[in-house]
Structure 1
Amino acid sequence: MIKAVTKLVCSLSVLSAFSTCAFAVMAFADEQPNIVLIFADDLGYGDLSCNGATKLQTPNIDRLAKEGRRFTDAHSASAVCTPSRYALLTGEYPHRKNLYAPVFLKTGLVIDPDQQTIASVSKDAGYETAIIGKWHLGFGDKTPDWNGELKPGPLELGFDYYFGVPVVNSHPPFVYVENHRVVGQVPEDPFVYGKKAKTQEIPEKMKLDNIGGADAAHAFYDDYQVGSTLTQKAVQWIKERGENKFFLCLSTTNIHHPFTPAPRFQGTSECGLYGDFVHELDWIVGEVVKTLEEQGVADNTLIIFTSDNGGMLNHTGQKTWSMGHALNGPYLGFKFDAWEGGHRVPFIVRWPGKVEAGSTSDELICNVDMIASFAALTGQTLQDGQGQDSVNILPALTGRSVERDHLLLSPFRKSHLSIRKGKWMFIGGQGGGGFTSKEVGNHGFGGPAAITFTGRENSDIENGKIKKDAPPAQLYDLKDDPAQTTNLYNSYPEVVQEMEALLKSYKPATSKKKKEKK
């Protein structure tokens, strides 16, 4: 796999590789733009008006598409939040880390500080770096010290600055963290496990394994102002950069439950709080773009907008569906699933003068590709064993092909690990591999029952259940059947055999090479 410009130049003996690589060198070698990566939370493919939504409108995000390139076959390496973020930062499939589920209050940092990340690659190239928003990758060597230094954390992975929500907006501790410490935490009022936090009572806001005390820290946190607070921090950080090159990852809590848009956004969509929360997200994007323009750096800034996974059919999602809004557009399934709706995500790139305005691409790309692309863009070289699953997608930004053989995709359940190769999608088990509650209104509603609820069709499912004679796994032709209506497992045994062999070739790593010290 070609990882960086230096390696591209050295690959002249391979004609096909040289064609693509030489183009990347000519187009990007002398360009080191600012980079703004906006990583939305639980935003489905169908949640944007530029992707077909009619019950809500996203003019600011649509503008990025009108002035840049919209990718229609982009994916998250995982249909779950924490492993998706792991893939984004490291360029490594979360399966290699045995990472399938989200982490919460008592989990240490899941990324080895010796790993290269999109932040460390950018920093090594002279960029000032920050991540603002949701973290959800753990803190500390073994467990976070909420009353002390939350270290190692983002700053040990190449970010110069961090401000945001340490876990997720639906789960305690319901505080902000800045760099290594909780904002507002004081020694005389420590956090206490098992004690209820003094925060707002909001539907779909979980109280499990709570951590209370620290009233001053909790007082800073207002669910309905999180989006505004993170936006203010992002805008301020951009303004402070002056003429220095910068990389900002804005990791929003929109639109993860609980759905708590600021009052000015409530009632603005035709699909309830879900749509209102998307409207707030669109405003956030608009504020960032406006700031870049005011600072005079918009034309030399590469903006990437995407999501960590597909939309979730939780209680609010079910209401939203009943109002006529299809969270994941035409695609089967939801967050946590191996079906397309779980991991096919919006992906829009804007870079004036470099990316054709109003263009679209059906190239197969993934969030795991960011580190190889950042390395190529900034003239860096990834160390051996680093970013091993990442592919440089810079050529796709300007209409060229990406050299990808296949893609490994992880749902919530390890049993449903999946392979995408060309037009084929192979899922290693029956059903979606995500949530499976059969009760409408339940937070964990999903699987075959959810497919029947939404009126979608699948040849393995009848009356909300897997048919008794359904194949043990699934194979779909996404070119002819992107909605995954027909399982072709029994029709193409040779393809199934190839896909199963590919899956078996991926084994979680038992050790990792250390990053070379500079």
Structure 2
Amino acid sequence: MKKIKVCIVLLTLAVLLITTGSSWKPSPNPQKPPNVVLIFMDDMGYGDLSCYGATGYKTPNLDQLALEGTRFTNFLAAQAVCSASRAALLTGTYPNRIGITGALMSWADNGINPEEETIPELLKEKGYTTGIFGKWHLGHHPEFLPLQNGFDEFYGIPYSNDMWPVEPDGKPATTGLKSRFPVLPLISGNDRVAEVRTHADQNKLTTTLTEKAVSFINRNKSKPFFLYFPHPMPHVPLGVSDKFKGKSGVGMYGDVMMEVDWSVGQVLKALKDNGLDRNTLVIFTSDNGPWLNYGNHAGSAGAFREGKGTSFEGGQREPCIIRWPGQVPAGRVCNKLLSNMDLLPTIAKVCGARLPKNRIDGIDWTELLKGNESITPRKTFYYYYRKNSLEGVRRDHWKLVFNHPGRTYAGYLPGDDGWPGPNTEDFAFPKALYDLRRDPGERYDVKEKYPEIVAELEKLAEEARQDLGDDLQNKPGTNLRKSGMHTEK
């Protein structure tokens, strides 16, 4: 009889859990505007967190974040490269629409146009304090830096951490692309305050930036804030502090990911210690997939094809975890199609801010974020790369890839210990149709089987070409805007 009672209790609890999960509703909107913490990784792959399948090391703080929030599995970067992805994130637009493509070099004269409105600019109108600690990469000239684009505070590097004149073995670069780079500066506000000259300096970045982010939280606990934390890691050259060096047991990349996880834990602890965790929207994602030809210093794209610098899923599908207690369902997995462009309108909605005056491409998915799985905010996506090449289009789970020259890592032996292996940038990819529901690895072309789907996606592509253009077909597009341009020499 006792066993029967225990079984009845367990069955009742299970039914309650199922019922509660299926009818979950968010708490009433908080009276105070929520804080927003946006943690943005660099070159982190889909398979680099243990809650997304990483093996050999654990990311317990990020796993806990996923347990307390929602884990998104179909979240795409707007493009698979640094500057373009960051432009999309902060402006809510396809980056080619606003003239930001590729990764801006240290000698680039262009940057984000001051006419484009960013997340921090919109939130400042609602009384938010805004700070960025980490990698900027939207232009290094003064007019392009964060303080001129909505941020109250900035400490970090103006572009990627590999844009420095140092070889992977620590020796000065005397030939090739690296020899053209100046010393990598550390900037506070608008001023150069230090330099990253050695690998030992790279090892300090994650800890230093984490301390800056925590300090920002502590100093702004009594007012709403937007904290943008774009880590330079795990982009090569990898850097890890003595706290985590050798701790993963699987090499330096695992050590770096453990330190990143520690950093997330420090930010979450600061929120909790200040009584802010229940009224803070925390978002964690990455700019693009892993740079696979760096071998043991690169991450994992999981089961997806290719990596950084490609329009295949391994280049653009990213981990995304979002937590907001009482507002975002805990322990949930969402498989809906979304993009980092969609974060701007969604953050604006939950914070009571307006949208930019210029046209954006992001879609507000607040209701989905809060648990309404009956809606599908985003049904289509354009895979642009290089300057303005439309390499693929997607509707729901169907993806049509067009003939295009592009990067491939397949068939090349990757490098080791910070040195890259070879790859090609001009592989002739053929036209192909993929059913991502059944074939997320994009290995089986089914265009001959579904000609009606190909026709529908071709029509979608023509709409994109009319709007945004397509270099592959020499179509200029009718709704493009220019990036900012530095004219003083």
Give the alignment's TM-score, normalised by structure 1.
0.76
Q: Aligned partner of 2:170: which letter? A: E
2:334 pairs with 1:361: yes
2:394 pairs with 1:420: yes
Aligned to 1:32: 33
- Of 430, 435, 451, the residue aligned with 1:493 is 451
2:390 pairs with 1:429: no
2:39 pairs with 1:70: no
Map 1:142-153 to 2 at 5 A: 144=141, 150-153=142-145
Q: Aligned partner of 1:404: which letter? A: R
CA distance in 2: counterparts of 1:48 and 1:438, whole angstroms:
26
Instruction: Give the 3 Å change call, closer, same or farther, for CA 223–500 of structure 1 in structure 2.
Output: same
Aligned to 2:160: 168
Q: Deviations over 1:102-149 (max 9, x none)?
A: 00112245221121111111111111011110011113xxxx3xxxxx
- Of 382, 385, 401, the residue aligned with 1:408 is 382
The answer to whether the 8 Å contact 2:98/2:482 transfers is no
Instruction: Give the 3 Å change call, closer, same or farther, for CA 284–216 of structure 1 in structure 2.
Output: closer
The answer to whether the 8 Å contact 2:135/2:157 transfers is yes
Q: Aligned partner of 2:148: which letter? A: E
Query: Share of identical aligned residues, percent?
Result: 36
SS at match of 2:285: strand
The answer to whether the 8 Å contact 2:99/2:481 transfers is no
Instruction: Give the 3 Å change call, closer, same or farther, for CA 499–199 of structure 1 in structure 2.
Output: closer
CA distance in 2: counterparts of 1:436 and 1:116, whole angstroms:
36
Q: Which moved more, 1:73-82 or 1:258-267?
A: 258-267
The answer to whether the 8 Å contact 1:370/1:390 transfers is yes
SS at match of 1:347: strand
The answer to whether the 8 Å contact 1:37/1:248 transfers is yes
Aligned to 1:217: 194
2:323 pairs with 1:339: no
Aligned to 2:137: 136
Instruction: Give the 3 Å change call, closer, same or farther, for CA 385–414 of structure 1 in structure 2.
Output: closer
Please state how far the C-alpha of 1:434 moved relative to its aligned partner: 2.8
Q: Aligned partner of 1:136: which letter? A: H
Please state how far the C-alpha of 1:56 moved relative to its aligned partner: 1.6
The answer to whether the 8 Å contact 1:338/1:434 transfers is no
The answer to whether the 8 Å contact 1:261/1:276 transfers is yes
CA distance in 2: counterparts of 1:199 and 1:270, whole angstroms:
21
The answer to whether the 8 Å contact 2:87/2:95 transfers is yes
- Of 235, 248, 252, the residue aligned with 1:273 is 252
Map 1:71-470 to 2 at 5 A: 71-139=72-140, 144=141, 150-172=142-164, 201=170, 207-212=178-183, 217-218=194-195, 222-315=201-294, 318-319=295-296, 327-386=300-359, 388-400=360-372, 401-412=375-386, 414-415=388-389, 417-429=391-403, 433-435=406-408, 439-441=412-414, 443=420, 445-446=422-423
CA distance in 2: counterparts of 1:93 and 1:87, whole angstroms:
6
Please state how far the C-alpha of 1:491 moved relative to its aligned partner: 2.5
Please state how far the C-alpha of 1:243 moved relative to its aligned partner: 0.5
CA distance in 1: counterparts of 2:184 and 2:37, whole angstroms:
36
Q: Deviations over 1:376-402 (max 9, x none)?
A: 11222224434x201012112222223
SS at match of 2:178: coil
Q: Deviations over 1:32-79 (max 9, x none)?
A: 210000001111110000011111210011110011100011110111
Instruction: Give the 3 Å change call, closer, same or farther, for CA 58–25 of structure 1 in structure 2.
Output: closer
SS at match of 2:441: coil
Q: Which moved more, 1:70-79 or 1:502-511?
A: 502-511
SS at match of 2:292: coil
Q: Deviations over 1:385-441 (max 9, x none)?
A: 34x20101211222222322311223447445222211111222257x335696424
Instruction: Give the 3 Å change call, closer, same or farther, for CA 266–399 of structure 1 in structure 2.
Output: same
SS at match of 1:218: strand
CA distance in 2: counterparts of 1:39 and 1:202, whole angstroms:
30
Instruction: Give the 3 Å change call, closer, same or farther, for CA 444–203 of structure 1 in structure 2.
Output: farther
**Aligned residue pair count:** 433
Q: Aligned partner of 1:89: which letter? A: L
CA distance in 2: counterparts of 1:203 and 1:313, whole angstroms:
24
The answer to whether the 8 Å contact 2:400/2:433 transfers is yes
Instruction: Give the 3 Å change call, closer, same or farther, for CA 26–404 of structure 1 in structure 2.
Output: farther
CA distance in 2: counterparts of 1:28 and 1:407, whole angstroms:
31
Please state how far the C-alpha of 1:281 moved relative to its aligned partner: 0.8
CA distance in 2: counterparts of 1:218 and 1:365, whole angstroms:
37
Q: Deviations over 1:297-350 (max 9, x none)?
A: 1111110000001112032xx2368xxxx7011111111111111010000001
Instruction: Give the 3 Å change call, closer, same or farther, for CA 53–200 of structure 1 in structure 2.
Output: closer
SS at match of 1:337: coil
Q: Aligned partner of 1:211: which letter? A: P
The answer to whether the 8 Å contact 1:419/1:499 transfers is yes
Aligned to 2:434: 476
CA distance in 1: counterparts of 2:49 and 2:245, whole angstroms:
18
Q: Aligned partner of 1:278: which letter? A: M
Q: Deviations over 1:86-117 (max 9, x none)?
A: 00000110122344310011224522112111
Q: Aligned partner of 2:179: which letter? A: L
CA distance in 2: counterparts of 1:76 and 1:438, whole angstroms:
25
Q: Which moved more, 1:411-420 or 1:495-504?
A: 411-420
Q: Gapped runs of 5+ residues in structure 2?
A: 1-23, 186-191, 469-476, 485-489
Q: Which moved more, 1:256-265 or 1:298-307?
A: 256-265
SS at match of 1:382: coil
The answer to whether the 8 Å contact 2:218/2:274 transfers is yes
The answer to whether the 8 Å contact 1:197/1:218 transfers is no
Q: Aligned partner of 1:59: which letter? A: P
Instruction: Give the 3 Å change call, closer, same or farther, for CA 219–96 of structure 1 in structure 2.
Output: closer
The answer to whether the 8 Å contact 2:290/2:308 transfers is yes
Aligned to 1:454: none
Instruction: Give the 3 Å change call, closer, same or farther, for CA 115–473 of structure 1 in structure 2.
Output: same
The answer to whether the 8 Å contact 2:138/2:159 transfers is yes
Q: Aligned partner of 2:446: which letter? A: L
CA distance in 2: counterparts of 1:216 and 1:247, whole angstroms:
24
Q: Aligned partner of 2:213: which letter? A: A
Give the alignment's TM-score, normalised by structure 2.
0.81
